[in-house]
C-alpha cells in the first residue's frame, strides 16, 4: 500500500515557496458485503487513495482534491489549486497554517479488521440471516482501514491509522420491517446473530400496525434516535461557525439541558474511530460540550477560532470553511437502567427504533422534522402492546433534552447509526417525557 506521508510530503514539495499550503493524504481499503432477499449479491473490495490540498497565495485561498498519487497527477493538483486561488478574492478571515505541534500517538487499529477476509464478513451476514428464520434479510457488512497523513509548509506533520467494521440490516415479514446496527473499531466485536435477532424481533412485533392519533407522547428512544439528536446538535449547534454567525442555540454556561445530560467529544479514548488530528493538522482532544446539563463547549477549526478569539479544538474537515467545524466523535453519557427498565416505567407512550429523513427547520431552536422507521411500538402499563404505523414528528431537539424532560438513560451505550451515518456517535437508549408527533408518514 502507498505511504500516505510520502504522498503528502511530495505535494507540499511541489508547492514550494509559491504559497502557504496544507495537504491531507489518505490511503486505505474499503470492503463491502451486501445482501438482499437473504442472499449475498455483492462482495467488493477497493484500495483507495485521496489527496486534499489547500493553498493560500497572497491571501487568496483555494482547495482541490484528487484520487491519484503519481507525480504527474500531484503536480496537476498543485498547479490547479494555485490557479484557482489566483482567481479568488482575498480571504480576510484566512487563519494561516498550524505551526509544528506534537500530535498524540493514538492509533485506533485492529489488525484483524485491517486484514479481514471476505469469508468473515460473509459469516457475519449468515449469522444475521439465520437469526431471522422465515424472514427476508437485507443490508450490508463492511470493513475499512485507512492511513492518513497531514503535512503543511509551516513544518507540521502528523500520521494516523484507524479501522472500522459495521453490520446494518433489516428483516422483513412482507408487511413490516425491523432494523439493527452495530459498528466498532474491531470486527471481532460485531455480533451478526444479535443484530439479526433484534431486527427480526422488531419485524415480527411490527405486524398488524395501527394508526395512532398525533400528539405529544412519552418515548423510549433507541440509540439510533439519540445519535441523530446528538449529531444534529453538533452540526447545527456546537459548531463555532454557527455560533459566530448567530445561528446556534448555544449559550455557554447556561443550563440548556436536563442535569442528566452529559455530551462530549472523545476522539482519543479506547475504541474510538478516526485519527488524532484534523485536516488542519491540529491535534484532537477530549472536548466537553454539555456537563450536568450546562452548555460548556464549542467545536472550532482555525477559521472559526480566529473569529471568536479562541483556539482550534481540532474539528476542521475539508468542508469546514463552508459548513463549519463538526464534533464527530460524540459520546452521550449513558445510565444504569436496562432498556426493559426504561420501557417498564412508561404508563403510556411509544418506543422508537430509528428516525428517518430528518431535516432541520430552525437551527436557533433546533426544531427538526422527520419520520419514525423500522420499529415504532405502543407502550402501555410498562409493556410493548403493539406496533404503530410510522409517524412524522416536529420537535425541538434542545427542548426534548431540556430540564425536566429526561427521565432516564439506558446502559446500552454503543456506536449508533445516526441520520448523518455510522461511526459518529456513541449513544444509549433514552426515556423522554415528551415528543411531539404531528402526523402519519404521509404528512
Whether residues 360 and 251 share a domain: the answer is yes
| pLDDT one-digit tens code per residue, 156-186 | 999 999 999 999 999 999 999 999 999 999 9
SS3 call for 226:
helix
Residues 166 and 215 both lie in one domain: no
- Does 245 lie in the same domain as 140? no
Domain identity same for 397 and 293: yes
The predicted pLDDT at position 2 comes to: 73
Full domain range(s) for residue 338? 208-443
Instruction: Quickly tell me which residue has 425536566 as its cell.
Output: 404
In which band, very low, low, confident or very high, does the pLDDT at 443 lie, cut at 50, 70 and 90?
Answer: low
Asked whether the predicted pLDDT for residue 442 surpasses 80, the reply is no
Q: Which three cell numbers, joined as nine digits, stand for 231?
A: 449529531
pLDDT band, residue 1 (cuts 50/70/90)? low
- pLDDT in the model for residue 423: 95
CA distance 20 to 155: 11
Q: Is the pLDDT of residue 206 over 70?
A: yes
Both 162 and 225 in a single domain?
Answer: no
Q: At 212, is the pLDDT very low, low, confident or very high (cuts 50, 70, 90)?
A: very high
> Which residue, 202, 229, 247, sits at the end of a domain?
202
Place of cell 418515548: 219
Same domain, 198 and 214: no
Residues 403, 430: one domain? yes
pLDDT in tens, 121-147: 999 999 999 999 999 999 999 999 999
Instruction: Please provide the average confidence, as pLDDT, over all residues in the chain.
Output: 97
Mean pLDDT, rounded, for 231-235: 98
From CA 415, how far away is CA 269, in angstroms rounded?
13
CA distance 432 to 403: 11
Q: Select from 174, 202, 230 the last residue of a domain.
A: 202
The secondary element (H helix, E strand) that includes residue 86 is helix 71-86
CB 70: neighbour CB atoms within 10 A?
12
Domain check: are 253 and 271 in the same one?
A: yes
224 and 144 belong to one structural domain: no
How many domains does one find in the chain? 2
pLDDT of residue 385: 97
Last residue of a domain, which of 145, 168, 202? Answer: 202
Q: Is 324 left (phi over 0), alpha (psi -120 to 50) or beta?
A: left
Q: Is the pLDDT of residue 424 over 90?
A: yes
C-alpha cell read off for 255: 443550563
Q: Which region, left, alpha or beta, applies to residue 76 given φ > 0 means left and ψ of -120 to 50 means alpha?
A: alpha
9-56 pLDDT per residue, tens: 999 999 999 999 999 999 999 999 999 999 999 999 999 999 999 999
> Average of pLDDT values for 260-266?
98
pLDDT, position 196:
98
State residue 106 phi and psi, 5-degree precision.
-120, 125
**169 and 316 both lie in a single domain:** no
Instruction: Give the CATH number of the domain where residue 24 resides.
Output: 3.30.2290.10
- Which of these, 120, 240, 103, lies nearest to 190 by C-alpha position? 120
Question: Do 70 and 98 share a structural domain?
Answer: yes
Q: Are residues 177 and 315 in the same domain?
A: no
The predicted structure's pLDDT at residue 441: 65
Contact 217, 434 (CB under 8 A): yes
- Give the Cα separation of 303 and 92 in Å (integer): 10
**Sequence-distant (≥ 6) Cβ neighbours of residue 134 within 8 angstroms:** none
Amino acid at each position: 500500500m502507498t505511504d500516505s506521508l510520502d504522498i503528502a510530503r511530495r505535494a507540499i514539495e511541489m508547492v514550494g515557496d509559491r504559497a502557504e499550503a496544507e495537504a491531507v493524504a489518505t490511503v486505505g481499503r474499503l470492503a463491502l458485503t451486501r445482501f438482499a432477499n437473504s442472499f449475498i449479491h455483492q462482495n467488493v473490495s477497493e484500495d483507495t487513495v485521496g489527496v486534499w490540498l489547500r493553498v493560500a497565495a497572497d491571501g487568496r485561498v483555494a482547495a482541490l482534491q484528487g484520487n491519484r498519487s503519481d507525480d504527474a497527477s500531484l503536480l496537476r493538483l498543485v498547479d490547479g489549486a494555485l490557479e484557482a486561488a489566483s482567481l479568488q478574492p482575498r480571504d480576510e478571515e484566512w487563519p494561516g497554517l498550524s505551526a509544528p505541534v506534537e500530535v498524540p500517538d493514538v492509533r485506533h487499529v485492529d489488525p484483524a479488521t485491517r486484514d479481514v477476509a471476505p469469508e468473515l464478513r460473509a459469516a457475519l451476514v449468515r449469522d444475521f440471516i439465520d437469526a431471522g428464520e422465515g424472514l427476508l434479510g437485507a443490508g450490508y457488512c463492511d470493513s475499512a482501514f485507512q492511513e492518513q497523513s497531514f503535512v503543511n509548509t509551516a513544518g507540521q506533520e502528523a500520521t494516523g491509522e484507524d479501522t472500522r467494521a459495521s453490520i446494518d440490516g433489516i428483516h422483513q415479514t412482507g408487511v413490516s420491517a425491523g432494523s439493527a446496527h452495530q459498528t466498532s473499531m474491531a470486527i471481532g466485536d460485531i455480533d451478526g446473530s444479535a443484530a439479526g435477532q433484534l431486527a427480526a424481533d422488531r419485524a415480527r412485533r411490527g405486524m398488524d400496525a395501527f394508526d395512532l392519533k398525533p400528539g405529544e407522547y412519552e418515548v423510549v428512544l433507541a440509540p439510533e434516535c439519540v445519535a441523530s439528536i446528538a449529531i444534529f446538535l453538533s452540526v447545527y449547534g456546537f459548531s463555532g461557525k454557527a455560533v459566530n454567525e448567530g445561528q446556534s442555540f448555544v449559550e455557554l454556561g447556561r443550563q440548556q439541558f436536563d442535569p442528566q445530560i452529559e455530551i462530549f467529544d472523545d476522539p482519543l479514548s479506547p475504541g474510538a474511530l478516526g485519527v488524532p488530528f484534523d485536516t488542519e493538522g491540529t491535534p484532537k482532544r477530549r472536548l466537553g460540550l454539555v456537563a450536568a446539563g450546562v452548555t460548556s463547549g464549542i467545536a472550532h477549526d482555525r477559521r472559526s477560532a480566529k473569529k471568536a478569539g479562541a483556539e482550534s479544538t481540532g474539528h476542521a474537515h475539508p468542508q469546514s470553511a463552508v459548513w463549519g467545524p463538526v464534533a464527530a466523535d460524540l459520546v452521550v453519557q449513558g445510565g444504569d437502567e436496562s432498556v426493559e427498565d426504561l420501557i417498564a416505567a412508561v404508563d403510556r407512550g411509544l418506543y422508537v427504533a430509528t428516525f428517518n429523513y430528518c431535516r432541520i427547520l430552525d437551527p436557533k431552536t433546533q426544531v427538526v422534522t422527520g419520520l419514525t422507521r423500522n420499529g415504532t411500538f405502543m407502550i402501555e402499563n410498562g409493556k410493548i402492546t403493539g406496533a404503530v404505523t410510522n409517524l412524522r414528528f416536529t420537535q425541538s431537539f434542545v427542548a426534548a433534552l431540556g430540564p425536566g424532560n429526561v427521565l432516564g438513560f439506558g446502559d446500552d451505550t454503543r456506536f449508533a447509526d445516526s441520520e448523518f451515518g455510522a461511526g459518529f456517535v456513541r449513544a444509549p437508549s433514552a426515556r423522554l417525557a415528551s415528543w411531539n408527533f404531528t402526523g402519519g408518514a404521509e404528512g
